[in-house]
Amino acid sequence: MASENAVLTQREIDALLSADVSQLDADTIVAIPPPARKDSGGRRVKPYDFRHPEKLSKEQLRGLQIIQQGVASSMAANFSARLRAPVESRLSALERGIYEEYVSQLGTQSVVIIIDMSPLQGYAVTAFGLDVAFGIIDRLLGGKGKGAPRVLNRDLTDIEIALIRHIGMDVARSLIEPWARIVELTPDVSELALGPQVMHAIPPSEFVITAWYEIRLAEQTGGISLCFPLTILEQILPKLTGQSLFDNRPSRRAKEEERVREEQVLPMNVLVRAILGGARVPAVDLARLEPGDIIVLDQEVEDPLRVMVGNCERFAGIPGTRGRKLALQVTGLVDDDGWVRPFGDGANG
């Protein structure tokens, strides 16, 4: 039997190339098994794909998958709050590749948004089809969220761009809470365009991790993708291990309370009034009031003034002046029973 390592001569190679393969029987054609992938020492050789290198370990990929599953839940919550309708979102795939391959999957009828991943150095890319964009726009403008066009033969209007930017901001905000276990993000929409050909935020040969999400709104199903380049992932790789994720896991209740405080409570303007006192005056006397008349109040001179926050008594203070303006020095709190508790006695109250 011929040796497995036998080499064909040039005459045999020419004969094979000139043979009429179409006249050969199926039984005549024999598949040549690939050579065994072993080195001289008999050890197995693992193939390496230079176009899709292994940049992340399995543990790091698992950690990133856990985070992106949280992004799916946040995305559903943000869209549901904006649209006032139930929206479902789930992570359907987490893929490795290069940015050029990701762009080729988007097509020309896609909305592509660049997200600034501050304080991390770099940008992420999110993309979704026109069916998703116009389905959400239709819902925002009072429709049922259906009947979205798949082909748009015109430029986006200013109103459509503004509404799509809001969609992009919802996607960006969906990163904040899940990524909080590794970094405190303040993402923002940097650029928006129709079609990926104008987007050059990431080099074509850059290694990327892409998360694909399935979105369900009303009777419509669409997809949203989030693409993260290696330049961003390298900054968080040490924190993508399982133990680090659990050690840095934020308290959902504390985060929600902080978010409500920052977004809903602190930006509000509240009316604050200092009450000098009150008096009961007969209607007859009110009708006869003249300039120079004096109304005696029920407030003693030494008593602190009550401070109203909205329509509730909350503080007490002493009147005075500061510069050329009237002022009030707050000295205590008013409890639920109406008693004034000085600040020094708050711990005992």
pLDDT digits (tens, 9 = 90+) for 137-174: 888 887 776 655 555 667 778 888 899 899 999 999 99
Q: Kindly report the number of other CB atoms within 10 A of residue 224's CB atom.
A: 22
Q: Taking the model in full, what pTM does it have?
A: 0.57
3-state helix, strand, coil in the chain (%, to 5): 35, 25, 40
pLDDT digits (tens, 9 = 90+) for 60-117: 888 888 899 999 999 999 888 888 888 899 999 999 889 988 988 887 788 899 999 9
User: DSSP letter string over 180-223?
Assistant: TTT-----EEEEEEESGGG--SS-TT-EEEEEEEEEEETTEEEE
Half-sphere exposure of 70 (CA within 13 A, CB side): 18
Q: Residue 225: what pLDDT? A: 94
Q: Is it true that the peptide bond before 119 is cis, omega within 30 degrees of 0?
A: yes
Pick the CATH number of 58-264 from 3.40.50.620, 3.40.1550.10, 3.90.79.10, 3.40.50.11540: 3.40.1550.10
Give the residues across from 136 on adjacent strands.
none
Shortest CA distance to 194 belongs to which of 117, 133, 123, 140? 133
Q: Residue 132: what pLDDT? A: 84
Question: Is a pLDDT exceeding 50 seen at residue 31?
Answer: no
Question: Is a pLDDT exceeding 60 seen at residue 189?
Answer: yes
User: What are residue 294's phi and psi, to 5 degrees?
Assistant: -115, 130
- What letter represents residue 200's amino acid? H
H/E stretch holding 15 reads helix 10-18
Region of 288 on the Ramachandran plot (φ > 0 left; ψ -120 to 50 alpha; else beta): alpha
Average pLDDT over residues 200-213: 88
Q: Which CATH fold topology does 272-348 show?
A: Surface presentation of antigens (SPOA) (2.30.330)
* Annotated domain spans of the chain: 58-264, 272-348
- Say which residue the tokens 């300039």 belong to: 291
Are 278 and 298 contacting, i.e. CB atoms less than 8 angstroms apart?
yes
